[in-house]
Amino acid sequence: MFKRILVANRGEIALRIIRCLREMDIETVIVYSTADAQSLPVMMATYSVCIGPAKAAQSYLNQDTIIETAKKMNCDAIHPGYGFLSENAEFARKCEENNIIFIGPSSELIEKMGDKQAARTLMQENDVPVVPGSDGLLNNAEEAVLAAEKIGYPVLVKASAGGGGKGMRKAFNREELVSAFETAKAEAKAAFGDDSMYMEKLVLKPHHIEFQILADKLGNVTYLGERDCSIQRRNQKLLEESPAWVLDEKLRKQMGETAVRAAKAAGYYSAGTVEFILDQDGKYYFIEMNTRIQVEHPVTEMITGIDLIKEQIRIAAGMKLSHTQDEIKQKGHAIECRINAESVGKIDFLHFPAGCGVRVDSHLYTGYEVSPFYDSMVAKIIVSGNTRLDAIRRMRRALEELTIEGLRTNAEFMHLLTYHPEFIKGNYNTAFWEEHSGTIMKWYEEGRGEIENE
Ligand code: ADP
């Protein structure tokens, strides 16, 4: 097992990793930017090293400085968290070249799954259903139009190097497609330096269902159930839950086994997520594989009792998975709400919910200064209960207890969301935001939120 691990991230995920490593008796080195000097990860790690100014490009994304620090501090491994360098094949390769274990899959695997069109082809070859779409890349708008005529409108133009919803455009007819193709391509070029494009049929009102998998370097692959992440705003997930209400046991098993087949087809190891969309007829399609630990991983931890970060570290150290598929059970129901800051500045007073079935992953504390340089997510409230309704009631109670003074957040909005009839019925898909956020906003403006903090 490792003796010392460098944590190349910040915020709640850095804290999550440091806490886990402490329980495993492994020393930690946190690298941080000047903006994060007063952060909890810096206070809680065994060692901390400032690697640059607030701008991520000069600190958290500075590959060479991070590698140099790992070497200087005698670290055996680097945990990249999510975001930043977590799915950067070049960084993983530099770790490999410097004999530092990258806690994640190999650079080759990151590259393989990061090229979405190539991943699609690989899945097709292995009987994993993919959304009907173009064969290979589309070089220009004419090719896109021809492909769309074959597939049938509406279509979704996607960047092969895409992520975070960038480089993706819908088109309902030929005219829209020509401009959608050009804008998506330009956006992909600017965001990823790669404008390879492909196309999928636009599935109307699908569910976003993803399966958590764990795979070791010895060829064992397991799935740990799914998460429904259909409540999204501009492709950003806001609330995730497990189990997904739309799946019955049969479909769950079928999709889980497909996720395992997808991972095996790639020769995958580490923790990973296989993302599917599920259409209105109950047909599911692979959309992509994420090769990192995800924001919403605690939802799965709450219902399986398995520490995913710990497993990820054990796998990186070459150990066998600690559970067989038969030993993995989904128990009860878990929901996560992402709390996002809508302003920046100092937290005057903070109180987090606690009690039975509540988990809070956050780097906030009273007096902490939320900086404008990084992601706006400041806390994750995760609850579990025996039934979905228990979990919903617990989430409401937890959000009512949450008090963050000095910072505007979406907490009250999330609280109101848990009262929406379609959410309560579990009757929602990726169109939820578009269809219902207006109603929730109206309740919000009417002051129907029950949370007293500002
Ligand atoms: P990114 O990596 O940019 O997030 P994804 O391929 O994961 O891109 O897609 C992001 C979201 O877009 C999915 O969660 C889903 O809601 C929607 N989406 C993706 N592909 C399709 C499709 N073919 N039809 C309908 N919606 C889709």
pLDDT digits (tens, 9 = 90+) for 294-344: 999 999 999 999 999 999 999 999 999 999 999 999 999 999 999 999 999
Provide the token pair at 30.
């946190």
Residue 287 Cα to ligand 1 midpoint, Å, equals 7
| Geometric angle at alpha carbon 17, from 13 and 22, rounded to 5° | 145
β-partners of residue 339 are 379
Order across the sheet with 197-201: list the strands.
166-171, 155-163, 197-201
Please give the Cα distance from 175 to 184 (Å, whole number): 14
Give the catalytic positions in this structure.
292
The answer to whether the beta carbons of residues 358 and 391 sit under 8 Å apart is no
Residue nearest atom 23 in ligand 1 by C-alpha distance: 202
Rg over CA atoms, the chain? 22
b (16+ CB within 10 A) / e for 225-256: bbbbbbbbeeeebbbbbbbbebbeeebbeebb
The answer to whether the beta carbons of residues 228 and 207 sit under 8 Å apart is yes
Provide the token pair at 366.
């009273």
Residue 374 Cα distances to 36, 62, 72, 99, 378, angstroms:
10, 15, 27, 30, 10
User: Count H helices, E strands: the chain?
Assistant: 15, 20
Provide the token pair at 19.
């806490």
Provide the token pair at 152.
């049938």
Residue 209 Cα to ligand 1 midpoint, Å, equals 11
H-state helical runs in 276-338: 297-304, 308-316
Q: Give the pLDDT mean for 111-117.
A: 95
pLDDT digits (tens, 9 = 90+) for 142-187: 999 999 999 999 999 999 998 888 899 999 999 999 999 999 999 9
Residue 150 Cα to ligand 1 midpoint, Å, equals 21
Ligand 1 atom closest to 229 (CA): 14
Identify the residues whose C-beta falls under 6 Å from ligand 1: 131, 156, 162-165, 168, 200, 202-203, 206, 208, 235, 275, 277, 287-288, 430
Residue 453 in this model has a pLDDT that exceeds 80: no
Ligand 1 atom closest to 165 (CA): 3
Please give the Cα distance from 78 to 100 (Å, whole number): 7
The answer to whether the beta carbons of residues 383 and 357 sit under 8 Å apart is yes
Residue 50 Cα distances to 81, 130, 231, angstroms:
18, 44, 37
Predicted confidence band at 450 (pLDDT cuts at 50, 70, 90)? Answer: low
Provide the token pair at 17.
């990793």
Nearest CA-CA partner of 396 in 332, 449, 318: 449
pLDDT digits (tens, 9 = 90+) for 385-433: 999 999 999 999 999 999 999 999 999 999 999 999 999 999 999 999 9
The answer to whether the beta carbons of residues 367 and 347 sit under 8 Å apart is yes
Residue 176 Cα to ligand 1 midpoint, Å, equals 19
Residue nearest atom 25 in ligand 1 by C-alpha distance: 203
Please give the Cα distance from 12 to 5 (Å, whole number): 17
Residue 369 in this model has a pLDDT that exceeds 80: yes
Best residue for ligand 1 mutational test, from 233, 235, 237 (most atoms within 8 Å of Cβ): 235
pLDDT digits (tens, 9 = 90+) for 225-273: 999 999 999 889 999 999 999 999 999 999 999 999 999 999 999 999 9
